[in-house]
Structure 1
């Protein structure tokens, strides 16, 4: 059955790939981007099946208008894919206030505004699926990505809460948690801090060398079948890792956390006081 799907950040990367895959199979897609000319190829190819809309997700007023436009145009919004976001590279100390706020405005607040705007439509429908593009780095961290890590940890907490609030309304929530992929996330889409504090050079060099292993980077096209399975599932997971790096790393990370909890068990219980 064809669905109506709203995808933010559809100008490139996962968003563009997934939008086209959904259009190819017959779904209706509302695709947003800061520059809608990046979607011209899809509008020319798919015609009325796609609604390309300019959107800056950090503008909550514009978000509300665009979501209303999509609802009026297609009549419903069955699936929301909150994909808009970017990486900010640099140590935490080197990050300016402006850079930190901009990272959170897009990756966290932008996702929040779009989710809030779509929820009334899904509540009225008593159905819907919200898919949040989080990250493997919403579960663990890497150096040089402190504000990005923080934004995705925030997305995780927000989305898990929403899931608990809307389940009885027939609305599902899924967090997609990719490891690194060969999209433009770490290239043209990324931002960099400008201050280079020499004391952090060993961290910087270690981070750079870890990214040189091509096998650590997933193939974006391989995610198409995975996202379609999530959308089509009657019982989608609340969380789903994308990529073998994330899949193999997380069990060990959780084992270490559980061990630390148990090692400090007596202190934790004593801190309760009674």
Structure 2
């Protein structure tokens, strides 16, 4: 087993916490970010110098590059960058406030983009490294009531997909992780809802609101097993482009891609009809 140093955003809960606990237990070093430092006091007390932690709010984008630089300076080498921090914003698009939209974009999309951009010069200098972006099946499939969450995840997947192709010749591997529902605090802890508009009570968008407000639907995914799979991906060479975790994720993604491919393939003739004639 290779000993590594990991930089992980949002290590106080969810996949970030599960990964950090597993990595520290096996002897790896973790540089973690949190919004509230006291949320991980137990990890600092237990693992000492192997756990480097700083506070970071991803919406404060100007703070991201200096903090990433500090992690590399303090630790010497960082082998794996994990963009984990984020949250779900749900409700019909019209129900969301402008402030909610901006915060979701800043956290889930712009924050992740800037973490990667800040890490790339260091990884290039090392001539090696991995970038792991935590996404969701919602980065490939879309459901009513999740328009803004999907916007952030489809956006980050497009960005990371392109970056992976840019840096592959530089010895840097890039992986997108697409989990299904997991029993973390994501759904019934950190998820946010826009103010309800009565007209959408009869819309399919209301399903997301009803599910979150009821707090009773258990997710099928085991976050410990998912964290193990994410960690194991760092040993795969070449880096897997995508990792699908959970039966629900597999079913949602394959269904969405199959339907989209069928829509596109049905337009082959009409698509080519808009080209200039051959030879012109």
Classify the secondary structure of the residue corresponding to 1:51: strand
Aligned to 2:124: 123
Pair 1:18-2:19 in alignment: yes
Are 1:42 and 2:43 matched, yes or no?
yes
Name segments (4+ residues, structure 1) moved above 4 Å: 209-213
Distance 1:65 1:206, change over 3 A: closer
Deviations 1:222-242 (A, max 9, x none): 212201211222222111111
Tell me the secondary structure at the aligned position of residue 145 of structure 2: coil
Match of 1:149 in 2: 150
Partner of 1:61, secondary structure, is helix
The equivalent residue for 1:102 is 103
Partner of 1:193: 194
Deviation at 1:22, TM superposition (A): 0.6
Q: CA deviation at 1:195?
A: 3.1
Q: Which residue of 1 aligns with 2:165?
A: 164
Worse-matched range after superposition: 263-272 or 28-37 = 263-272
> 2:273 aligned to 262, 270, 273, which one?
270
CA distance in 2, matches of 1:205, 1:57: 29
Matches within 5 A, 1:1-274: 1-207=2-208, 208=210, 214=218, 216-274=219-277
CA distance in 1, matches of 2:216, 2:273: 46
Q: Deviations over 1:202-259 (max 9, x none)?
A: 4245444699653x53121121220121122222211111111111332232222222
Whole-angstrom CA distance in 2 between matches of 1:62 and 1:262: 45
Q: CA separation of 1:212/1:268 partners in 2, compared to 1, >3 Å: closer, same or farther?
A: farther
> What's the CA shift for 1:197?
3.0
TM-align CA RMSD: 1.7
Give the distance between the partners of 1:259 and 1:160, measured in 2 at CA. Answer: 23
- What is the distance in 2 between the residues matched to 1:257 and 1:61? 38
Moved more, 111-120 or 264-273: 264-273
Tell me, in whole angstroms, the C-alpha distance in 2 between the residues paired with 1:2 and 1:59: 32
**Contact 1:94/1:197 (8 A) holds in 2:** no
TM-score by length of structure 2 reads: 0.92
SS at match of 1:5: strand
Alpha carbons of structure 1 residues 190 and 199: separation in structure 2 relative to 1, 3 Å: closer
* Cα distance, 1:74–1:254 mapped onto 2, change above 3 Å: same
